[in-house]
Structure 1
Amino acid sequence: MTDFLSDILSSLGPIVDTPKHLNTRKINKHILLLKKQHWFKNVHDNEEYYELLFGNRRVRFYLQSSFHVHRMIRKKKVQKKFIMLLNKELKK
């Protein structure tokens, strides 16, 4: 139950802003889960995106959410939204 509430609150993060604490272990677990997806393998192999996955606070915050990650696995629309986030962060 606590995990569920944590995910709901973390999904509000882009509205509120990113928290001060990121759960690296959880993020890395989610990245490993996503690496099994064909579309994410291309993202992971891209050098610019790879740097964002491991060094950008907003991207890591997004990847910390189990809710976001499981939706990315199931829905192409959410995958595209994540790619848009990556591209937005690359432009900064």
Structure 2
Amino acid sequence: MGDTNGEVVAGGHDKGNRSDQLEYPTDVLNNKESDSLIICDLGNQRVVQWSRRSGTTQGKILIDNIDCYGLAMDDQRYLYISDYTKHE
């Protein structure tokens, strides 16, 4: 705590729909086992995974065509995603 320096680990190339961009991210989940972040990218209707390892330049699309708003992962590593439009 008290560190004033930060590091961009996902996006960072302005907003947009390229694989190295995000647009209106609504939730993020830290997946410690794979050392990655899973991000709801509502503006692009997708869920993306970004490695936290140095040198990562783009995210991997896990699910597209979803109005994702929230994320949760249980103890068995099942990923749950809420859909803003479908109310589920």
Pairwise same-fold verdict (TM > 0.5): no
Q: Flag the structure with higher helix content.
A: 1
Q: Which has the higher contact order (CA 8 A, sep 6+)?
A: 1
Normalising by structure 2, what TM-score? 0.31
**Which one has the largest radius of gyration?**
2
Q: Flag the structure with higher strand content.
A: 2
